[in-house]
């Protein structure tokens, strides 16, 4: 009999912490089921009361790359989260305009009365964190919840200790989910007229078709 590799145990959801908020930022071009699954995993694993999706106005890590209009990306996020009362969309970065830096968004949210949030990001994004604007300040403003990313090596507390000494207790690594869906795949399929159903919510697929995005 072939040995089956160990899989992470599936734990029951954590008790909801009143007032707790997760922040999931990104380009969301378009928002897809992978984003939603990540947000739901973070919500249950951390006991979050709500998760805030924050589309970037102008993502600084994608200079020169074509990105759909902020209004379209925000509209798709709003459609995607409409069916989950724990999810919400924020236009804070789009309203601010210009390059969207996480440290600025977290500072604004904290100044607006938000208690210490969880910033949800992938292991791919965590590797780049040292190159972000004021990464140490980000770790002061929020705790990090890191989810795996298909095709990237998993990280752990040793990586945090090596790059951010003394901050290991500010980062929590979640076991999943690992959905091999990316915005680039959705865009390429839509570009040639292929279906994107089951990759994105039906309402998002309809929006892409109605507005002829990526064509």
Is residue 149 classed as helix, strand or coil in its secondary structure? coil
pLDDT > 90: what percent of the chain?
Answer: 84
Whether residue 4 has pLDDT greater than 80? no
pLDDT at residue 6 in the model: 58
What tens digit of pLDDT does each residue of 84-113 get? 999 999 999 999 999 999 999 999 999 999
Residue 11 inside a domain? The answer is no
E strand segments, 48-133: 50-55, 87-89, 118-122
Q: Is 105 helix (H, G, I), strand (E, B) or coil?
A: helix
Beta-ladder partners of 84: none
- How many Cβ atoms from other residues are within 10 Å of residue 65's Cβ? 9
Q: What is the CATH number of the domain that holds 155?
A: 3.40.50.620
Residue range 1-18: mean pLDDT, rounded:
74
> What pLDDT is attached to residue 53?
98
pLDDT digits (tens, 9 = 90+) for 71-81: 999 999 999 99
For the chain, what is the domain count? Answer: 1
pLDDT for residue 152 is more than 80: no
Strand locations in the chain (E): 21-26, 50-55, 87-89, 118-122, 143-147, 171-173
In this model, does residue 204 exceed pLDDT 80? yes
State the average pLDDT for the chain: 93
Report the C-alpha gap between 103 and 203 in whole angstroms: 31
In a domain, 215, yes or no: no
Distance CA 160, CA 172 (A): 10
Domain interval for residue 113: 21-181
- 41 assigned to some structural domain: yes
Across 168-176, average pLDDT = 94
Say if 12 falls within a structural domain. no
Phi, psi dihedrals of residue 52, rounded to the nearest 5°: -105, 120
Residue 123 falls inside a structural domain: yes
For residue 1, name the pLDDT band (cuts at 50, 70, 90).
very low
Given this model, what pLDDT does residue 60 score? 85
At 55 the three-state DSSP class reads strand
Measure the CA–CA gap between 12 and 201, rounded to whole angstroms.
Answer: 26
pLDDT value, residue 33: 96
Name which residue leads in pLDDT, 61 or 54. Answer: 54
**Could you report the per-residue pLDDT of 134-147, keeping only the tens digit for each?**
999 999 999 999 99
pLDDT at 197 over 60: yes
User: Could you tell me if residue 63 is inside a domain?
Assistant: yes
**What confidence score (pLDDT) does residue 7 get?**
65
Q: Tell me, what's the pLDDT at 79? A: 98
């Amino acid at each position: 009999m072939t040995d089956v590799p160990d899989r992470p145990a599936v734990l029951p959801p954590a008790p909801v912490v009143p007032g707790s908020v997760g922040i999931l930022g990104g380009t969301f071009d378009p928002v897809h089921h992978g984003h939603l699954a990540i947000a739901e995993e973070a919500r249950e694993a951390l006991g979050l009361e709500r998760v805030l999706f924050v589309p970037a106005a102008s993502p600084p890590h994608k200079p020169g790359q074509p990105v759909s209009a902020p209004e379209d990306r925000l509209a798709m996020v709003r459609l995607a989260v409409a069916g989950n009362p724990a999810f919400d969309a924020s236009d804070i970065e789009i309203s601010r305009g210009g390059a969207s830096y996480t440290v600025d968004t977290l500072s604004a949210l904290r100044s607006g009365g938000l208690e210490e949030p969880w910033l949800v990001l992938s292991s791919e994004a965590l590797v780049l964190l040292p190159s972000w604007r004021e990464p140490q300040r980000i770790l002061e403003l929020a705790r990090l919840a890191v989810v795996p990313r298909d095709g990237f090596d998993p990280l752990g507390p040793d990586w945090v200790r090596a790059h951010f000494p003394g901050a290991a207790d500010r980062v929590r690594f979640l076991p999943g989910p690992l959905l091999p869906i990316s915005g680039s795949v959705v865009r390429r399929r839509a570009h040639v007229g292929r279906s994107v159903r089951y990759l994105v919510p039906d309402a998002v697929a309809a929006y892409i078709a109605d507005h002829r995005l990526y064509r």
